[in-house]
Amino acid sequence: MAANKLALIRYKIIDDCLRQTHRKWTLEDLIERVSDGLYEFEGIHSGVSKRTIQGDIQLMRSNKLGYNAPIVVLNRKFYTYDVPNYSISNSPLSDRDLSKMKDAVDILKYLNGFSYFEEMSDMIVRLENSLSKQTDKSPSHIQLESNNLLKGLNWITPIHKAIREQIPLLISYKSFKSKTEQETVYYPYLLKEYRNRWFVLCKPKKGNTLITLALDRIEDLNEMEKSGYVPYNGIDFERYYADTIGVTRSEKDRGHRVILRVDSKNAPYVITKPLHPSQQLLETKADGTVLIRLDVVLNFELEREILGFGESMKVLAPKNLVDRIKRRTRKMLQQYTEENDI
């Protein structure tokens, strides 16, 4: 049991006692009541010392926790609050606490894919309203990337539940390449987000390989009998995606040694914000150009990341990745050398 949690329980019990103005509380009474409370709530038999309760009272009186509790001693014996209806639960929040809470509310507003947070929307509005009454109206200090037009966010909660409770799902799915939707039973294992898009890693009932479904391509899903669920017994998913940028990969894919050359203008960005945790700086040339190494799966997301740097980045190895980027850049160039379509 964390010491700070036990301390909070003690403060709460002392607070409850001192709010009861119909009786008088000696230090011995408080020790007995706190000891009983610790046994009732946490099963602690050892009780609590006189020194601990005296320290708790002193801390509640101070500003260290923001309580500034008006605890007085009457007749050098009885403890009580000197302010009617005072409670540490009603203590005003400090400016620092208010700032932290406002940032937390901003983050909660971003997590709108899970119904747990949708159900909290009313509470978030009330928190915002309460905070605005206690602070000057100020703009948000946190702005997270989001896209309210994204499809498929409504599937996050039922899929998360299915993973947690090991429930097979009958999913009606229509890929970008397919003209019609396909209905298949899947065993869901992992929800993964990449660049504001959500995916579920799963295994089809009639298949032995893991596949990745985009939530925005799901047309419908229904729960099946739990008894039919087949758990995943492969490597843990932290390791599964350790050598992957994005989500596209198969169980057979392995990381490759990728060497990239980055010009001097973009080198600081790539160094300070690595493309992947495996990134290593191999060489810095006199003109500021750098060579970096990645150990990653060769997938669509890697190519898109490289192409996003345009002429600032060049692939030096492996050869098959060099050839793929060449083909794509040639096609890009061809589009701009053809006659204007507009």
For 199-221, how does the pLDDT look when each residue is reduced to its tens digit (9 = 90+)?
Answer: 999 999 998 899 999 999 999 99
**Structural domain includes residue 250:** no
Q: In this predicted model, what pLDDT tens digit does every residue of 74-107 receive, in sequence order?
A: 999 999 999 888 888 876 655 666 666 666 666 6
Domain end (from 202, 234, 266): 234
**Structural domain includes residue 241:** no
Return the amino acid letter for 234.
Answer: G
CATH number where 197 lies: 2.30.30.520
Instruction: Please give the pLDDT value at position 1.
Output: 39
CATH number where 262 lies: 3.30.70
Q: Tokens 């706190």 sit at which residue? A: 34
Residue ranges, the chain, pLDDT below 70:
1-3, 91-146, 148, 339-342
Closest of 96, 86, 95 to residue 21, by C-alpha: 86
Domain end (from 66, 90, 114): 90
60 & 103 share domain: no
Instruction: Please give the pLDDT value at position 114.
Output: 60
Domain end (from 201, 234, 267): 234
**Structural domain includes residue 140:** no
Instruction: Please give the pLDDT value at position 120.
Output: 53
Number of domains in the chain: 4
Instruction: Please give the pLDDT value at position 190.
Output: 95
Percent of the chain with pLDDT over 70: 81
CATH number where 53 lies: 1.10.10.10
**Structural domain includes residue 62:** yes
Which phi and psi (to 5°) does residue 68 adopt? 50, 45
**Structural domain includes residue 174:** yes
How far is CA 24 from each of CA 49, 72, 254, rounded to the nearest angstrom? 20, 12, 73
282 & 215 share domain: no
**Structural domain includes residue 145:** no
17 & 71 share domain: yes
9 & 85 share domain: yes
pTM of the predicted model over 0.75: no
84 & 160 share domain: no
Q: Does residue 318 have a cis bond before it (omega within 30 degrees)? A: yes
Q: How far is residue 131's CA from residue 206's CA, in Å, rounded to a whole number?
A: 53
Domain that holds residue 117: 95-134
**Structural domain includes residue 249:** no
Instruction: Please give the pLDDT value at position 146.
Output: 66
79 & 106 share domain: no
**Structural domain includes residue 229:** yes
Q: How many CB atoms lie within 10 A of CB 17?
A: 17
Instruction: Please give the pLDDT value at position 2.
Output: 46
128 & 172 share domain: no
